């Protein structure tokens, strides 16, 4: 395959994972150009990578540019994204700024690859919690048609970024040592705690946060159904990697738990882990650093017609961000 010139904007948790995944998947990188606020050297997976300062001219000659913002991140693609497109670069943005822009396809390659047709050079990665949910739900939607989704997410600190990972670790050490736990990334300690707010409040949906609104809006855009009703509650939990999600889904047509398992067992990127008799169910530690979304606890919801409940877990930095972006580029190639 022809070698391509690749840029990565940002070298935090997602940017670092992008470098690893490009190597792991033998992506045909002829040149790797890592951009950040300042020029420096960074060690990634045992190798030294030279980082150059982000300028408009730094995108010249690239084929792809991955903007590696973490959960809810914004700004870099606003400043440089469309200018890079004008320079002939295909932009794949993990940030939040353009996901709902009508010009920009919002893509999970296993779910809606056709959205990449006739793209205008700028493609958005969905939010990590949306990706993980739809990896489990889209195959069932094709079978029975989703009408309503109630989601409760249990999101790891890596979604906030590298500083939050270090903060959780330091708080655990402080707690064990009997010292006061200091917080800067969150409004309260995250160690041994859960925080029922991710993102700011949204005037468009009183009482809901930006993360919860994203799940509604992005689900509708990706599945192409504006009538799907979504109620999400997004919670931060003291886990380093992998988001877990409790999903209760009402369908237009009946679908049994057995049929749902059959569909999900055949779905790419999904692994069914559903053996309650032997205490087998999806867990963040099992999904951490993996590419599959684990799905289990598949059961009938007796409280509503044509409804199922299930539990999904996926690594938010890999499939929820970096891996999905690389898969988009692979699909385009």
Among the options 119, 128, 166, 231, which is catalytic?
A: 128
Pair 157, 167: CB distance under 8 Å: yes
Q: Which residues of 89-112 are buried (b: 16+ CB within 10 A; e: fewer)?
A: bbbbbbbbbbbeeeebbbbbbbbb
Angle at 110 between CA 298 and CA 238, to 5 degrees: 55
Q: Which residue has the tokens 């940030």?
A: 95
d(C-alpha 105, C-alpha 212), whole Å: 20
Token pair 């913002």: residue: 69
Query: What would the two tokens of residue 34 be?
Result: 């890592």
DSSP label of 316: T
Phi/psi-derived region of residue 178, left when phi > 0, alpha when psi is between -120 and 50, beta in every other case? left
Looking at 119, 141, 231, 243, which residue is catalytic? 243
Q: How far apart are CA 276 and CA 48, in angstroms?
A: 45
Task: Indicate if 243 belongs to the active site.
Answer: yes
**How buried is residue 25: exposed, middle or buried, by Cβ count under 10 Å (0-12/13-18/19+)?**
middle
* Percent composition of the chain: helix, strand, coil (DSSP 3-state, to 5): 35, 25, 40
On whether the CB atoms of residues 229 and 149 are closer than 8 A, the answer is yes
Catalytic annotation, residues: 128, 243
């Amino acid at each position: 395959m022809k070698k391509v010139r690749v840029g990565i904007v940002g070298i935090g948790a997602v940017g670092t994972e992008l470098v690893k995944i490009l190597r792991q998947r033998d992506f045909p990188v002829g040149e790797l150009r890592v951009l950040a606020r300042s020029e420096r050297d960074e060690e990634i997976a045992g190798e030294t990578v030279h980082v150059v300062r982000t300028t408009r001219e730094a995108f010249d000659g690239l084929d792809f540019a991955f903007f590696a913002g973490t959960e809810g991140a914004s700004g870099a693609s606003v400043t440089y994204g469309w200018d890079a497109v004008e320079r002939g670069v295909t932009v794949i943005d993990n940030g939040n700024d353009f996901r709902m822009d009508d010009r920009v396809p919002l893509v999970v390659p296993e779910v809606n690859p056709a959205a990449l047709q006739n793209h205008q050079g700028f493609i958005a990665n969905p939010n990590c919690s949306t990706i993980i949910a739809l990896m489990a739900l889209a195959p069932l939607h094709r079978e029975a048609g989703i009408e309503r989704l109630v989601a409760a997410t249990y999101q790891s600190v890596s979604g906030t970024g590298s500083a939050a990972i270090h903060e959780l670790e330091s708080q655990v050490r402080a707690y064990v040592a009997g010292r006061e736990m200091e917080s800067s990334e969150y409004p309260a300690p995250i160690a041994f705690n859960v925080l029922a707010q991710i993102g700011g409040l949204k005037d468009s949906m009183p009482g809901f946060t930006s993360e919860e609104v994203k799940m509604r809006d992005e689900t509708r855009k990706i599945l192409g159904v504006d009538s799907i009703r979504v109620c999400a509650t997004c919670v931060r939990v003291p886990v380093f990697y992998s988001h877990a999600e409790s999903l209760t889904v009402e369908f237009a047509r009946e679908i049994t738990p057995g049929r749902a398992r059959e569909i999900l067992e055949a779905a790419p990127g999904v692994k069914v882990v559903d053996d309650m008799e032997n205490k087998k169910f999806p867990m963040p530690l099992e999904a951490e650093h993996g590419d599959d979304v684990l799905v289990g606890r598949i059961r009938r919801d007796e409280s509503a017609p044509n409804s199922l409940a299930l539990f999904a877990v996926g690594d938010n930095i890999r499939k929820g961000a970096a891996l999905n972006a690389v898969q988009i580029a692979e699909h385009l190639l």
